[in-house]
Amino acid sequence: MSQPPVSITCTGLTIRFPVYGVDAKSLKKSLARVAVGGKLGRHFGSTDVTALQDLNLELKAGDRLGLIGHNGSGKTTLLRALSGAYEPDEGTIDVHGRIAALLDLSLGIDLSATGYDNIRLRGRIAGLSAKEIEARLPEIAEFTGLGPFLAMPVKTYSAGMQARLAFATATAVECDVLLMDEWIAVGDADFQKLAHKRLLGLVERAGILVLATHDVDLLRLYCNKVMRLEGGVASEVTDIRKLDELLAA
C-alpha cells in the first residue's frame, strides 16, 4: 500500500499548560505588562497558560516554514506538538511522514552508558531496527570523532564531547519532516563545519522543514514560508519574501 504524501495539518490547535502554586490575579496583572509568553487564563477552575490558540496550519512537500515570534510566543510548543510530544487540548494535529525532531539533543542520553550504547539507544528511540543501527553505527561513530572514548561511559565526556555524540546520533536518521528549534551549532570550530554540512544535507533531503529561529538571515537562507506567533496566536503563513512586512507588523 502506498504511503500518503508528506504533509502537516493542524486545525484549531490549542495547547494549554497548567500553572501551579501562583496567585492567578497578581500573575495576570504582571503579565499584562509584558510582550512575551502565552495568554494566562482560567479553564475548568484552574489557572493556565495558553501557549497555542486555535492554530491552523497546512504544509506539504517542499514547504520550508520559518517560525518567528517573541520569547514565549509558542514556537517550541508548536514544534513539540508536531513531534508528538504534546497532545492538543483542542483541535487536531495530523503529520504524515517520518519525523526527526532536533529539539533537545541531550534528551534521552544515558550518562552511565557508553557512547556506543547511547548511539544504539537513540537509534531504537528513532525507530531503527537493531540491524539498521549496527549498519549505521560505524558512520555515526566516525562522525563523532570520539574514537576510543565511545567505549567509555558518557559521564566521563566533556560537554562538547557529549554534544558531538548527541548531534551525530540525532542527525543520523533520514526523515520526511524535520523540526528544528534554532540552527544547531555544536562542538569546536572544526566540528561545527562538519555539523553544518550534515545538517544542510538533512534539510535538503527532508520534504518539510519547520525551523523556529530569531535569526532572520537563517530564515532567508533556508525557508520559503514564514509564520509569526504572538502570545500563542499565529499569523497567516506567508511567502518568505514578505518577512520584512511580517516583522514590522
Ligand X SMILES: Nc1ncnc2c1ncn2[C@@H]1O[C@H](COP(=O)(O)OP(=O)(O)OP(=O)(O)O)[C@@H](O)[C@H]1O
- Least separation in angstroms between CB 228 and ligand X: 11
Cβ nearer to ligand X, comparing 30 with 71: 71
Residues near ligand X, by CB under 6 A: 17, 37-38, 49, 51, 69, 71-77
Amino acid letter, residue 12: G
Q: How far is the CB of 24 from ligand X (least distance, A)?
A: 14
Which residue, 51 or 208, has its beta carbon nearer to ligand X?
Answer: 51
Distance in angstroms (rounded) separating the CA atoms of residues 236 and 229:
10
* Residue whose CB is less far from ligand X, 176 or 181: 181
State whether residue 167 is helix, strand or coil.
helix
Q: Residue 1: CB partners within 8 Å, gap ≥ 6?
A: none
Please compute, for residue 139, the number of CA atoms within 13 A of its CA located in the half-sphere on the CB side.
Answer: 12
Shortest Å, Cβ 231 to ligand X: 8
CA-based nearest residue to 65, from 214, 176, 212, 221: 212
Q: Which three cell numbers stand for residue 244?
A: 520584512
Nearer to ligand X, 36 or 200 (CB): 36
Give least dist CB 77 to ligand X, A: 3
